[in-house]
């Protein structure tokens, strides 16, 4: 039986999915190129022995709570499990320690990576074709992808040096409402955003919370990079400042825990009314997300939760302390990138190349004298053996822009030095052709 | 911020989600009742030590293929991974050995349980509000749930002693088309269906394949119980007879592998045309499902795949051999249930209770002299301390029926004996009130 793509779900023909594929596959196409493209965590400290130790640590923890009931220990790890997860209490403790967030463990749903948390939330918020989600553009493709899959349009909000243009946010919300739409939520990465690297100052966060309450939309806070800040620290997470339950907090352990466990979570403590008499008519948004999860993945693999839970237990749920070495690698790499760029492209020189200077995270954005599209990336990869990410992939419209993203999380200092050398050669050659 | 249930996704208010919740929670509400309700695998052979051994076995396998590249070994288990999975070749070998199915490993997507495979497939097949999926009713609630979540209506097809009423299938398809609908696929569990326990004879399978080709719909074959057949064996899987690529095969390792790993998969070898020039305009349905997966869960936890992969390797991918003990437990339990029912309800006695006699699987269906709803189940649990599943949950309409499902996979022979004793007391008491 033959199928035709135009007869399948609309997301499969979207530019977003093409971008996700492109970003996933480009490194495989050019295995001998140095890659500033992948936003993956550093692999230098990966240790398979630790997986066994984490598993044992979690088993001991479950055993301590099971009062000698070994069948219960085995069941917890090896049988179908609780829909909301089995490490929710450890996640709550970790949020208190790392982020100063007080979360009721019952308001947490443990998910298959942050991506599932995103989809659960967007699917729950999409009732009719009038519903929409707001996002600061350029935006992480995972948000655009989950929104496509949930049939939820993304309303773009302009960026600024503070991570969002709040005036544009208000205009966008008011225009959407005038058009009969319901903007349900705004997706933001307040710390070291992907792809921009920008962080929101504290007063922007406070104004954003006030605007969300005033205009009646949720804030979807995604925070994969917050722990990897510079010596100056960072402002509190939105959720730590959230007195009116405006914030749904989307968590990822891919960068701070173990990417191979694929454990994420969502904190959704918003009350939901009208949930039927048997629940007293009142449940939380987390309860609704759990219902959707029961139709989507049933539960997050208990064995994967156990390994991640063992890592949390091993470090007393303090992932800031657990990531001391990794945080140092990312800080050093950021410095190497900024120093190297300053060396290759001194002020006033030609070609004119500028960049932003995040104080943490995985990403720096360069502005070039020419529009950088996928064809130029292919040229850069083939001829100069260096990969980067055209920023247009984070706009979802396919129009090439003069900006590129450099990711430096997976490289060594030598690779960064050599990679920037190659990048400068590519930019020099291209600028000669685009005077 | 308060949310209202009627403003959230429609699936959250559906009877299906209420049924899933009810079925998940009823056992927790009555922990001291004997349960014929849960369709979970037997726990008597669970072994946490095996998890460590399976992990080591898979690591050795990856190492053997990595030519001394230890960084690659660590990356395979601990980093973000391939969207379609890392054990696809082992799954293909397992399908050849256990089911006689020849599947190209590239046509396989490894998923977070069979439930994610179901959702990926239904989401892909849902283009517009005209699309629909067919299902034999009574039907596994996971199908109904995934369809709700994909905004895809389920068109019911009547059951029969052969697992489907083929005349009703044709009538339903023709009526749907006349109504402007597009029936994209029929969901079936050909072996020991949940909840009915019924299996399709070989000639029904062959006629079903011919009808699917004639009327242009896919067959979604779900096969969690096929390995647990009686001494008479079973007919080939639909996918093993599928010469025209009509069948999308949905696989689960929850019963034959490790439920706690949550590993399932889908074989989707259908060609998809119109996929863009860079792919030669031709991909498989599996490629499309992988794209949707990249927006949903990114990839199935490599650590969970590794544990399941280690189990497959340990048994040379022969799960029939690996499950000799489990299969014997299920066969013995089925016999205990059928013998016990014959003892409690001999022919011609009152109250009149009848049941079907599957030759394998996890389920038997009883027909009672009264309609069995959730209130009666609560009474049975509270007063007689025995749980079962009202069959109405598998119809999705909330209307009580005179049938109940008994699941016997998780019980010991003593528990079955005592459970049937309690069930007979409950039925006796109720029949006295419903003469």
Residue B259, CA distances (Å) to B207, B333, B365 in order: 34, 20, 24
**What mean pLDDT comes out for the span B405-412?**
96
pLDDT grade for A124, boundaries at 50, 70 and 90 = very high
> Does the distance separating the beta carbons of A123 and B9 come in below 8 Å?
yes
> Does the distance separating the beta carbons of A303 and B304 come in below 8 Å?
yes
pLDDT grade for B398, boundaries at 50, 70 and 90 = confident
Of B33, B40, B17, B134, the closest CA to residue B422 belongs to B33
Q: Cα–Cα distance between B3 and B6 in angstroms, integer?
A: 9
B25 in reach of chain A (CB within 8 A): no
Q: What mean pLDDT is reported for chain B?
A: 95
Q: Cα–Cα distance between A54 and A306 in angstroms, integer?
A: 8
DSSP letter for B138, please.
Answer: S
Sheet holding B182-188, edge to edge: B108-112, B263-267, B247-252, B218-222, B182-188, B131-137, B154-158
B31 in reach of chain A (CB within 8 A): no
Q: Cα–Cα distance between B39 and B311 in angstroms, integer?
A: 22
pLDDT tens, B115-147? Answer: 999 999 999 999 999 999 999 999 999 999 999
Burial A159-178 (b: 16+ CB within 10 A, else e): beebbbbbeebeebbeebee
Distance of CA A384 to the CA centre of its chain: 30
Residue B357, CA distances (Å) to A32, B14, B214 in order: 62, 32, 33
pLDDT reported for residue B13:
86
Residue in chain B nearest A248 by alpha carbon: B1
Q: Could you tell me where in chain A the CATH 3.40.640.10 domains are found?
A: 51-321
Neighbouring CB atoms inside 10 A of B221's CB total 27
pLDDT reported for residue A281:
66
Distance of CA A324 to the CA centre of its chain: 21
Residues in chain B, overall count:
435
Residue A141 has pLDDT above 90, yes or no: yes
CATH 3.40.640.10 fits A51-321, yes or no: yes
B394, with CB counted inside 10 A (0-12, 13-18, 19+), is buried
3-class state of residue A279 by DSSP: helix
Cβ B62 vs Cβ B76: under 8 Å: yes
Distance from CA of B74 to the nearest CA of A (A): 6
Phi and psi at A120, nearest 5°, equal -55, -45
Cβ A177 vs Cβ A155: under 8 Å: no
Residue B279 has pLDDT above 70, yes or no: no
Tell me which chain A residues have a C-beta less than 8 angstroms from the C-beta of B1: 212-213, 216, 218, 244-246, 270
Q: Could you tell me where in chain A the CATH 3.90.1150.10 domains are found?
A: 5-44+323-433
Tell me, which fold does domain B5-44+323-433 have in CATH?
A: 3.90.1150
Residue B51 has pLDDT above 80, yes or no: yes
Q: Cα–Cα distance between A394 and A141 in angstroms, integer?
A: 6
pLDDT reported for residue B277:
64
Cβ A37 vs Cβ A26: under 8 Å: yes
A378 in reach of chain B (CB within 8 A): no
Q: Cα–Cα distance between A431 and A402 in angstroms, integer?
A: 12
Better pLDDT: A103 or B398: A103
Question: Residue for token digits 């080939």?
Answer: B236
pLDDT reported for residue A357:
94
Helix orientation angle between B48-65 and A48-66, rounded to the nearest 10 degrees: 170
Tell me which chain A residues have a C-beta less than 8 angstroms from the C-beta of B302: 260, 262
Distance from CA of B12 to the nearest CA of A (A): 7
B81 in reach of chain A (CB within 8 A): yes
Q: Cα–Cα distance between B361 and B256 in angstroms, integer?
A: 12
pLDDT reported for residue B275:
74
pLDDT reported for residue A266:
98
Output the CA angle B373-B379-B385, nearest 5 degrees.
120
Please name the residues between 318 and 337 in chain B that touch chain A, using a CB distance below 8 Å.
none
CB pairs under 8 A between A and B: 280
Which residue of B303, B308, B326, B409 to mutate against A (max A Cβ within 10 Å)?
B303
Q: Cα–Cα distance between B164 and B238 in angstroms, integer?
A: 14
pLDDT grade for B281, boundaries at 50, 70 and 90 = low
Lowest mean pLDDT among A411-415, B255-259, B275-279, B301-305: B275-279
> Does the distance separating the beta carbons of B17 and A294 come in below 8 Å?
yes
Of A390, A398, A396, A358, the closest CA to residue A137 belongs to A396
Partner residue facing A272 (CB), from B5, B16, B145: B5
Partner residue facing B148 (CB), from A1, A125, A295: A295
pLDDT tens, A218-255? Answer: 999 999 999 999 888 899 999 999 999 999 999 999 99
Residue A280 has pLDDT above 80, yes or no: no
**What mean pLDDT comes out for the span B180-202?**
97
pLDDT reported for residue A425:
97
pLDDT reported for residue B413:
97
Distance from CA of B434 to the nearest CA of A (A): 27
Neighbouring CB atoms inside 10 A of B72's CB total 14
Please name the residues between 147 and 166 in chain A that touch chain B, using a CB distance below 8 Å.
148-149, 151
Residue A72 has pLDDT above 90, yes or no: yes
3-class state of residue A133 by DSSP: strand
Lowest mean pLDDT among A402-416, B279-293, B330-344, B351-365: B279-293
**What mean pLDDT comes out for the span A331-352?**
96
> Does the distance separating the beta carbons of B6 and A274 come in below 8 Å?
yes
Residue B407, CA distances (Å) to A328, B31, B112, B192, B415 in order: 55, 17, 24, 12, 12
> Does the distance separating the beta carbons of A123 and B292 come in below 8 Å?
no
Lowest mean pLDDT among A21-25, A284-288, B292-296, B351-355: A21-25
Beta strand B3-4 with A271-273: parallel, antiparallel or unpaired? parallel
């Amino acid at each position: 039986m033959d199928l035709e793509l135009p007869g399948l779900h609309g997301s499969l023909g979207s530019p977003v999915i093409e971008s996700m594929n492109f970003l996933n596959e480009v490194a495989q196409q050019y295995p001998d190129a140095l890659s500033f493209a992948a936003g993956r965590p550093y692999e230098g400290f990966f240790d398979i022995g630790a997986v066994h130790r984490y598993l044992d640590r979690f088993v001991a923890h479950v055993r301590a709570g099971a009062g000698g009931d070994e069948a219960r220990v085995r069941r917890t790890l090896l049988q179908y499990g609780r829909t909301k997860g089995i490490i929710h209490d450890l996640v709550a403790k970790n949020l208190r320690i790392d982020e100063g967030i007080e979360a009721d463990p019952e308001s947490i749903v443990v998910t298959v990576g942050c991506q599932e948390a995103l989809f659960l939330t967007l699917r729950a918020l999409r009732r009719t074709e009038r519903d929409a989600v707001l996002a600061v553009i350029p935006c992480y493709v995972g948000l655009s992808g989950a929104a496509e899959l949930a049939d939820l349009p993304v309303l773009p909000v302009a960026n600024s040096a503070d991570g969002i243009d709040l005036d544009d946010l208000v205009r966008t919300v008011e225009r959407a409402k005038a058009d009969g739409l319901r903007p349900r939520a705004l997706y933001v990465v307040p710390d070291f955003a992907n792809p921009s690297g920008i962080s929101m100052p504290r007063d922007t966060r406070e104004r954003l919370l006030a605007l969300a309450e005033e205009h009646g939309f949720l804030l979807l806070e995604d925070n994969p990079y917050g722990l990897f800040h510079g010596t100056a620290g960072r402002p509190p997470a939105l959720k730590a400042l959230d007195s009116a339950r405006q914030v749904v907090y989307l968590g990822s352990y891919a960068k701070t825990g173990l990417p191979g466990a694929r454990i994420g979570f969502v904190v959704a403590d918003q009350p939901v009314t009208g949930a039927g008499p048997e629940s007293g008519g009142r449940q939380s948004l987390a309860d609704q997300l759990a219902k959707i999860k029961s139709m989507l993945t049933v539960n997050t693999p208990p064995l994967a939760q156990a390994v991640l839970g063992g890592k949390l237990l091993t470090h007393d749920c303090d992932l800031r302390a657990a990531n001391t070495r990794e945080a140092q690698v990312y800080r050093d790499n950021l410095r190497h990138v900024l120093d190297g760029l300053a060396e290759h492209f001194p002020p006033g020189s030609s070609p004119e190349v500028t960049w932003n200077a995040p104080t943490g995270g995985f990403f720096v954005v360069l502005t070039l004298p020419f529009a950088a599209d996928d064809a130029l990336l292919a040229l850069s990869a083939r001829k100069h053996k260096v990969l980067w990410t055209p920023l247009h992939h984070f706009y979802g419209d396919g129009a090439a822009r003069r900006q590129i993203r450099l990711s430096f999380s997976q490289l060594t200092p030598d690779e960064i030095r050599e990679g920037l050398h190659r990048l400068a050669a590519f930019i020099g050659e291209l600028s000669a052709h685009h005077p």
